[in-house]
């Protein structure tokens, strides 16, 4: 993470790219700064989660979303309290972006009683009902139906809400996606398929998994589709704004192909990655395409923040994250009997 | 009480729940104008409109998954799955998603949805349209499983299912859709609670514990036994999950002998669970081994010359019952 | 059916359409005549099956393919003995077109021992392994994986064979189709998706079930796609020839959208159809677009057969079908014990 | 005999079968260069090439369906399903298609395919990556179901599976991949036949009948009993389908007491079938009720504070065994 990198000199190309981006639809400086903070929060969360794993303090496995902050934040910034999201196995970013706080998130990752799911879900099932996050999902493509159904009920109940389905590029292999996109198109449902195309599914490159064309697939099912630079927060935000507007206007579903990259391995234990992707490629994305410094530059250029302010943001969030980790490590586990509860709602 | 068909009872239950609660809707294949191939839903789209009685494409995984999402967000979907055999297509959405949401979220999410489907062979519909798959879903914690055995049960259990905050799979016996039976007037609303087995006949010599289509077999077998001078308790299990162990055990502790009947395949099927609970918890009361009758462990054959024998029937049930009562069971 | 209709005067439009069609790739007159016979055989088979149902002599239900003969025959005429097909619940036509004979087919429909599946499959599972028919399937979309897998093993074993997956328009609702099309495209498998678009799935029109565009769907998965007049035997044959040539040349999969119509109801019991399609529409297709007389005209015009010869073909096949029905009605059922056999191969 | 890991044993079995029969191939997600997330298949793509060790997209229904088609037409696919929980995604292709082809075709078609997958909780993998779903597939006629309990079993059963002309689902215990055990040298080819349970220990007082991961629990429980002066038969079921009833019944007829262990959910699970067969067919030999230990009927919880207790363990098995042996079971 964070502030240090933000003030680091980004290369010329990256800087130019950041300047060229579409402007955000009438967001105030404070809103833009908050979006920046959200990205930094995600990065801080993941760095701490990784650390917990490396120190063998975290049970099980987890999947880091570092590098993909702009897609999570850009999309969620376009939403309001009526809206729902569904998330994936790589879901911490979505959860933070949708408004979750660190303590119950870390508690959940550690299986503690105060976790968002009282420790029963863990990283792969973290949900935050109050903020409209219907949950991460450990089945690839498993939440495509859920999001589309949430869009159906928004329309049925007339809430004006929109549902966002975050999914990875690998989920394009799952047939259920096409079934629900078909129904979303037929019934003009207010749903957005936000595909975080980080170019790999586990240890396999997308070219080995995906024939034809991602955008054309959505279009062939009657869904509006757009390719977006997933490292460019403003571009993501603008595309998400358009998709949300379409959805709220009753014009139906949108598929966003957000090109991005994950900095860490598929999961925390995936250390030796050279057999499926090069160090150079990783370095390129980290050095040239990191969404946090890229957007930091924009804030500096527009005079929305100074370098010192960005550094301060990073440091404050770091402290907040570390404090939450401490809290979660000390927090109590659920009582053993809790394992019998909640099998059924009552 | 008036007499209506099983099919009418299902239709009434759905109509009443749709009228009562605007968040209830129904979808599935050919459910609207066509009213399903079994015509069970005829007339509903006329009353409730295509916004609440919704024809889907042939996309079972998709529309079951969407029902989970809808149920999570304030509506109460009833899903029509045309044949029970298609459960295999929706297992992921049903068992990995619907069943686990409440638990995985620590009780913060709930999935009030009903999956209506069917069971039953002997319709010459062959291996992919004849299965009775209730044991599969009963094995998955988080799902409830109901098996109505008459028009009255069909209505009362379905209405309870719609009001339950959990995913409920309800299996209707396709062979029974045209069967008639007494059902209370619409004014006398009847909700049959889950987890309460129903004793249909009282007897002394044997317990017949049955589900769905096999309740009828059990009742007729009990009659057959009466002709031989014996009497049987006939118990309709009603819901496999929750299972009313108490009623079943009380009966077996009284009679000391039991046959468990279910139309699913026998091996690793519903009869195994019920029989093994009896064998464990009524062990000291048993005068004879617990007998199970499920369908043969073969895919359902098409030929009329083959199919019927694969399902438990009255004659074999009576025969076995007499052996149990008369102590003629071989001691291996 | 049959011969009478064949010699019946078709309308001008239909005649013109038949003349305009692509020529068949170097088929001899006798081959064309045989293709005609195959269509007539299918029609005769279905008429007799329907009759058996109406007379309550047939157990269960069945789905007639009358009206769809050209797609079954046109595609199967492009195949040879190395090739496999998979079929659907509406599968009698495919079975006949692939070379099955009437007696074991009727025996199967009646659940008799001499049926292709010894009575265990019935109409919805009729298979004819010797002629490369891997079987009808009662799960919509259920054979898409099977056909694609058969194409895989043809490629793996180097047989030079091709696999044809017959499917209905309704099967486009099933996600598995997209999963296997993706793999077929990635691995350039010799498979042909022959979609018989009869415009209805049960009692629902395709417009209510299918968003976007069928051909674009296939193309978006990297599959060559072509729309074909499914009532025009020569057009189907030509398109199938192209697809088979591509497949054998290692160029991969093809999706054929064969526009057609079923004359009867969804199944034999679907008598009152006015709530989902008009009598006029049905009449139009039967009068103007019947593939048998349309192709009969071509044969007459080309001097390949005389009207009398076509009549004679129809009559001979009628007799053959009736004889087979008689045979099947008399044929013995399997012994009751047979129900225990074949659960496992040994 | 040399000592190798479970994972190596699986790898060897596949390599040997690939070498022996060119029609055998393997596909699944990340099976080639990655060698699966569990690294069980490492090295295979190097020896056999990407034509035989094939990475698929994340399309479980699709590639299982394709395996059925391939198996019908002259090849013998081994399918790698990364987690047993994903079985729910492939049930239609497995249960409606693979399982029924032989029967529906009257024996004219066959589907020689192996679906390799896994089971087992206590890895903190939560509800969708921890299930033990063997009972579901065991319920479907036409499938065979194998559950190796050691490296040697893993190799011998998998090799038999590859040579079987039927669809076989084989469940490996993920927790056991690094466990070591004796396995015959590659030269001494060992095929472990299906349908023959394996008696691992001989005793007099009680039978412990177990599958997969629970075999280890049974063995340790037997040791615990020895410390108390009792001896137990320990039986590894090996294959749920076909089930070796004879070996199990012979043991129970001898000991008169039995605990059946399996890591699937207890209700409607594998223990129910085995227990109810025992209760029926060894009825007159039983000195105590048949006890079943399956996993709790709850989705697998993530928290380390919750998860372990949901799976049967040695302490509770010993405790119950002592109750059974000492006649301390309450008579309800
Ligand atoms: C149905 C299913 N198949 C396989 C897996 C194992 N798995 C977990 S993540 C993953 C890769 C997913 O790739 P993608 O959708 O691109 O998401 P990413 O990990 O790149 O964020 C796989 C194969 C799974 N969880 N669910
Ligand atoms: C998975 C599945 N869902 C539903 C059905 C019930 N069903 C049988 S045929 C049919 C319509 C199929 O339409 P289409 O594929 O267009 O074929 P057609 O009948 O028009 O030839 C349906 C819904 C089924 N057999 N399988
Ligand atoms: Mg990815
Ligand atoms: Mg159709």
- For the domain that residue B157 is a member of, what is the CATH number? 3.40.50.970
Name the active-site residue from B12, B17, B29, B129: B129
Answer whether A230 contacts ligand 1 (Cβ < 6 A): no
What is the pairing mode between strands B198-201 and B258-265? unpaired
Out of A258-272, A287-301, B230-244, C15-29, pick the least confident. Answer: C15-29
pLDDT for B204 equals 98
Measured from CB, residues less than 6 Å from any atom of ligand 2 are: B 29, 58, 60, 82, 86, 89; C 89-90, 138-140, 168-171, 198, 200-202, 266
B–C CB contacts, 8 A cutoff, strictly below: 120
Find the farthest-apart pair of alpha carbons in chain C and give their distance in angstroms, rounded: 59
Which chains are adjacent to chain D, needing at least 3 Cβ pairs under 8 Å?
A, B, C
Instruction: Clarify whether residues D152 and D214 are in a common domain.
Output: no
Instruction: Report how far residue A276's alpha carbon sits from residue A264's, in angstroms, rounded to the nearest whole number.
Output: 13
Name the active-site residue from B17, B29, B60, B273: B60
Residue C193, CA distances (Å) to B51, C169, C206, D20, D238 in order: 34, 11, 18, 34, 41
Q: For chain D, how many structural domains are there in total?
A: 2
B30, B124, B128: residue with CB nearest C59: B124
Return the structure tokens found at A117: 């799911």
Name the active-site residue from D129, D153, D172, D265: D129
CB of D169 within 8 A of CB of D84? no
pLDDT value at B83 more than 50: yes
Report the chain A residue with the minimal C-alpha distance to residue D307: A339
Q: For B123-153, what is each residue's pLDDT tens digit?
A: 999 999 999 999 999 999 999 999 999 999 9
Domain of D210, CATH number, reads: 3.40.50.920
- The chain C residues in contact with chain B (CB within 8 A) are 59-61, 111-112, 117, 119-122, 124-125, 137-142, 170-175, 201-204, 208-210, 275-276, 333-336, 338-340, 343
**Of B127, B8, B113, whose CA–CA distance to B66 is shortest?**
B113
Task: Decide if A120 and B109 are in contact by the 8 Å CB cutoff.
Answer: no
Q: Given 3-state DSSP classes, what are the helix, strand and coil percentages for chain D, each rounded to the nearest 5? A: 40, 20, 40
Out of A3-12, B257-266, C176-185, pick the least confident. Answer: A3-12
Instruction: Clarify whether residues B286 and B171 are in a common domain.
Output: no
Instruction: Report how far residue A23's alpha carbon sits from residue C233's, in angstroms, rounded to the nearest whole number.
Output: 57
CB of C132 within 8 A of CB of C166? no
Instruction: Report how far residue C217's alpha carbon sits from residue D85's, in angstroms, rounded to the nearest whole number.
Output: 30
pLDDT for D63 equals 99
How close is the Cα of B206 to the center of ligand 2, in Å? 45
Task: Decide if C145 and D61 are in contact by the 8 Å CB cutoff.
Answer: yes
pLDDT value at A335 more than 70: yes
pLDDT for C1 equals 29
How close is the Cα of B58 to the center of ligand 2, in Å? 7
What is the pairing mode between strands B198-201 and B232-236? antiparallel
Q: For A147-189, what is each residue's pLDDT tens digit?
A: 999 999 999 999 999 999 999 999 999 999 999 999 999 999 9
Which chains are adjacent to chain C, needing at least 3 Cβ pairs under 8 Å?
A, B, D
Return the structure tokens found at C147: 């056909």
Residue A247 has phi, psi (to 5 degrees) of -60, -50
CA A139, A144, A147, A148 torsion-angle sign: negative
Q: pLDDT band for A26, please (50, 70, 90 cuts).
A: confident
Out of C202, C210, C273, give the residue to mutate to test ligand 2, the one with the largest number of ligand atoms within 8 Å of its CB. Answer: C202
Which chains are adjacent to chain A, needing at least 3 Cβ pairs under 8 Å?
B, C, D
Percent of chain B whose predicted confidence (pLDDT) is above 70: 100
Per-residue pLDDT, averaged over C145-149, amounts to 99
Task: Decide if B58 and C60 are in contact by the 8 Å CB cutoff.
Answer: no
- Quick one: how far is CA A132 from the chain centroid? 14
Best mutation site among A123, A203, A205, A210 for testing chain D: the one with the most D CBs within 10 Å? A203
Q: For C227-259, what is each residue's pLDDT tens digit?
A: 999 999 999 999 999 999 999 999 999 999 999
Query: Please, what is the end-to-end C-alpha distance for chain C in angstroms?
Result: 43
Instruction: Clarify whether residues B266 and B169 are in a common domain.
Output: no
- Quick one: how far is CA B174 from the chain centroid? 11
Return the structure tokens found at C183: 């793999």
Q: pLDDT band for B332, please (50, 70, 90 cuts).
A: low
pTM of the predicted model, to two decimals?
A: 0.96
Q: Domain residue spans in chain C?
A: 34-331
Which residues does chain D have within 8 Å of residue A340's beta carbon, measured at their own beta carbons? 296, 298
pLDDT value at A18 more than 60: no
Nearest CA to ligand 1 atom 20: A201
Instruction: Report how far residue A105's alpha carbon sits from residue A122's, in angstroms, rounded to the nearest whole number.
Output: 9
Contact of B21 with chain A, judged by CB distance below 8 Å, is answered with no
Contact of D33 with chain A, judged by CB distance below 8 Å, is answered with yes
Contacts of B259 (CB under 8 A, 6+ apart): B206, B207, B208, B209, B218, B221, B290, B291, B292, B293, B317, B320, B321, B324
Out of A314-328, B254-268, C264-278, pick the least confident. Answer: C264-278
Best mutation site among A176, A220, A251 for testing chain C: the one with the most C CBs within 10 Å? A220
Last residue of a domain, one of D128, D158, D183: D183
D59, D128, D299: residue with CB nearest A173: D59
Residue D249, CA distances (Å) to B244, B254, D215, D271 in order: 29, 28, 17, 14
Residue D305, CA distances (Å) to A230, C76, D309 in order: 39, 62, 9
Best mutation site among D62, D100, D168, D241 for testing chain C: the one with the most C CBs within 10 Å? D62
For residue D256, the tally of other CB atoms under 10 A from its CB is 17
Enclosing domain of residue D258:
198-325
**Of C269, C277, C239, whose CA–CA distance to C256 is shortest?**
C239
B90 domain-assigned: yes
How close is the Cα of C89 to the center of ligand 2, in Å? 7
Per-residue pLDDT, averaged over B192-207, amounts to 98
B189 domain-assigned: no
Report the chain C residue with the minimal C-alpha distance to residue B298: C343
Is residue D60 flagged as an active site residue? yes
pLDDT for A13 equals 52
Nearest CA to ligand 1 atom 17: A168
Answer whether A242 contacts ligand 1 (Cβ < 6 A): no
How close is the Cα of B101 to the center of ligand 2, in Å? 31
Answer whether A201 contacts ligand 1 (Cβ < 6 A): yes
Task: Decide if B303 and C111 are in contact by the 8 Å CB cutoff.
Answer: yes
B193 domain-assigned: no
Nearest CA to ligand 1 atom 5: A140
pLDDT value at A14 more than 90: no
Q: For C284-312, what is each residue's pLDDT tens digit?
A: 999 999 999 999 999 999 999 999 999 99
Contact of B306 with chain D, judged by CB distance below 8 Å, is answered with no
What is the pairing mode between strands A254-259 and B168-173? unpaired
Q: pLDDT band for C88, please (50, 70, 90 cuts).
A: very high
Task: Decide if B107 and A84 are in contact by the 8 Å CB cutoff.
Answer: no
> Would you give per-residue pLDDT tens digits along chain D (332 residues)?
899 999 999 999 999 999 999 999 999 999 999 999 999 999 999 999 999 999 999 999 999 999 999 999 999 999 999 999 999 999 999 999 999 999 999 999 999 999 999 999 999 999 999 999 999 999 999 999 999 999 999 999 999 999 999 999 999 999 999 999 999 999 999 999 999 999 999 999 999 999 999 999 999 999 999 999 999 999 999 999 999 999 999 999 999 999 999 999 999 999 999 999 999 999 999 999 999 999 999 999 999 999 999 999 999 999 999 999 999 987 76
Instruction: Clarify whether residues B18 and B154 are in a common domain.
Output: yes
Among the bound ligands, the one closest to the CA of D83: 1
pLDDT for C13 equals 52
Q: For B267-297, what is each residue's pLDDT tens digit?
A: 999 999 999 999 999 999 999 999 999 999 9
Answer whether A103 contacts ligand 1 (Cβ < 6 A): no
C181, C182, C210: residue with CB nearest A182: C210
For residue D242, the tally of other CB atoms under 10 A from its CB is 15
Cis amide leading into C2 (omega within 30): yes
Q: Which residue carries 């793996």 as its tokens?
A: C156
Report the chain B residue with the minimal C-alpha distance to residue C339: B306
Per-residue pLDDT, averaged over A311-330, amounts to 98
pLDDT value at C7 more than 60: no
Percent of chain C whose predicted confidence (pLDDT) is above 90: 91
Q: pLDDT band for B182, please (50, 70, 90 cuts).
A: very high
Contact of B165 with chain A, judged by CB distance below 8 Å, is answered with yes
Instruction: Clarify whether residues B163 and B213 are in a common domain.
Output: no
Which residues does chain C have within 8 Å of residue D66's beta carbon, measured at their own beta carbons? 145-146, 148-149, 152, 180, 183
Answer whether D86 contacts ligand 1 (Cβ < 6 A): yes
Task: Decide if C157 and D56 are in contact by the 8 Å CB cutoff.
Answer: no
ipTM field: 0.97
D192 domain-assigned: no
Q: Given 3-state DSSP classes, what are the helix, strand and coil percentages for chain B, each rounded to the nearest 5? A: 40, 20, 40
pLDDT value at B187 more than 90: yes
Is residue D285 flagged as an active site residue? no
How close is the Cα of A259 to the center of ligand 3, in Å? 10
Answer whether D63 contacts ligand 1 (Cβ < 6 A): no
Adjacent-strand bridge partners of D114: D78, D168
**How far does the CA of residue B246 sit from the closest CA of chain D (Å)?**
11
Which residues does chain A have within 8 Å of residue C174's beta carbon, measured at their own beta carbons? 175, 179
Instruction: Clarify whether residues B254 and B124 are in a common domain.
Output: no
Instruction: Report how far residue A196's alpha carbon sits from residue A261's, in angstroms, rounded to the nearest whole number.
Output: 8
When the candidates are 3.40.50.620, 3.40.50.970, 3.90.1170.50, 3.40.50.720, the CATH number that belongs to A34-331 is 3.40.50.970
pLDDT for C23 equals 57
Which chains are adjacent to chain B, needing at least 3 Cβ pairs under 8 Å?
A, C, D
**Of A127, A170, A1, A111, whose CA–CA distance to A336 is shortest?**
A111
Instruction: Report how far residue D291's alpha carbon sits from residue D295's, in angstroms, rounded to the nearest whole number.
Output: 13
């Amino acid at each position: 993470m964070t502030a240090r990198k933000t003030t680091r000199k980004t290369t010329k190309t990256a800087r130019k790219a950041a300047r060229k981006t579409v402007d955000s639809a009438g967001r105030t400086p404070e809103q833009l700064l908050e979006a920046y903070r959200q990205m930094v929060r995600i990065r801080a969360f993941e760095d701490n989660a990784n650390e917990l794993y490396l120190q063998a303090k975290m049970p099980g496995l987890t999947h880091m979303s570092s590098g993909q902050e702009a897609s999570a934040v850009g999309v969620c910034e376009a939403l309001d309290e009526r809206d729902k999201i569904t998330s994936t196995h790589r879901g911490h970013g979505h959860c933070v972006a949708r408004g979750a706080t660190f303590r119950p998130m870390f508690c959940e990752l550690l299986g503690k009683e105060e976790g968002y799911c009282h420790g029963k879900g863990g990283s792969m099932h973290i949900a935050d009902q109050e903020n409209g996050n219907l949950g991460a999902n450990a089945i690839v493509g498993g939440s495509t139906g859920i999001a589309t159904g949430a869009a159906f009920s928004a329309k049925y109940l007339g809430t004006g809400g929109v549902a966002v389905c975050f999914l990875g590029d690998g989920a394009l292999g799952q047939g259920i996606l096409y079934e629900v996109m078909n129904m979303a198109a037929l019934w003009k449902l207010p749903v957005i398929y936000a595909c975080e195309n980080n170019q790999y599914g586990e240890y396999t490159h997308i070219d080995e998994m995906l024939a034809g064309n991602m955008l054309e697939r959505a279009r062939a099912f009657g869904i509006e589709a757009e390719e977006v630079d997933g490292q460019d927060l403003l571009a993501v935000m603008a595309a998400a704004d358009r998709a949300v507007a379409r959805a709220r206007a009753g014009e139906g579903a949108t598929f966003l192909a957000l090109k991005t990259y994950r900095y860490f391995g598929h999961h925390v234990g995936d250390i030796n990655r050279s057999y499926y992707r090069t160090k150079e490629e990783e370095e390129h994305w980290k050095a040239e395409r990191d969404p946090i410094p890229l957007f930091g530059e924009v804030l500096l250029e527009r005079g929305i923040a100074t370098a010192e302010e960005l550094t301060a943001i990073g440091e404050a969030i770091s402290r907040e994250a570390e404090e939450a980790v401490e809290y979660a490590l000390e927090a109590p586990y659920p009582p053993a009997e809790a394992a019998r509860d909640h099998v059924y709602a009552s | 009480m008036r007499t209506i068909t099983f099919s009418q009872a299902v239709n009434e239950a759905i109509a009443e729940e749709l009228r009562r609660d605007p968040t209830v809707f129904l979808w599935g294949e050919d459910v609207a104008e066509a009213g399903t191939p079994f015509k069970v839903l005829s007339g509903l789209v006329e009353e409730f409109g295509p916004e609440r009685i919704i024809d889907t494409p042939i996309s079972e995984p998709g529309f079951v998954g969407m029902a989970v999402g809808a149920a999570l967000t304030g509506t109460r979907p009833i899903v029509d799955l045309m044949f029970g055999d298609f459960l295999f297509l929706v297992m992921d959405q049903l068992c990995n998603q619907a069943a686990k949401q409440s638990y995985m979220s620590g009780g913060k999410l709930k999935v009030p949805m009903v999956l209506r489907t069917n069971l039953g062979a002997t319709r010459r519909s062959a291996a992919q349209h004849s299965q009775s798959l209730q044991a599969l879903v009963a094995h998955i914690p988080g799902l409830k499983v109901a098996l109505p055995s008459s028009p009255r049960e069909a209505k009362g259990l379905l209405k309870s299912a719609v009001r339950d905050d959990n995913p409920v799979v309800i299996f209707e016996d396709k062979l029974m859709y045209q069967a008639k039976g007494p059902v209370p007037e619409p004014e006398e609303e009847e909700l049959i609670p889950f987890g309460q087995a129903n004793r249909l006949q009282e007897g002394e010599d044997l317990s017949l514990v049955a589900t769905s289509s096999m309740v009828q077999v059990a009742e007729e077998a009990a009659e057959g036994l009466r002709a031989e001078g014996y009497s049987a308790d006939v118990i309709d299990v009603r819901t496999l999950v929750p299972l009313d162990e108490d009623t079943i055990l009380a009966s077996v502790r009284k009679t000391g002998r039991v046959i468990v009947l279910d139309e699913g395949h026998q091996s690793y099927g519903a009869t195994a669970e019920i029989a093994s609970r009896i064998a464990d918890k009524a062990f000291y009361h048993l005068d004879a081994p617990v007998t199970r009758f499920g369908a043969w462990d073969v895919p359902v054959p098409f030929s009329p010359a083959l199919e019927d024998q694969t399902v438990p029937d009255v004659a074999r049930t009576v025969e076995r019952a007499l052996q149990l009562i008369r102590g003629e069971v071989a001691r291996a």
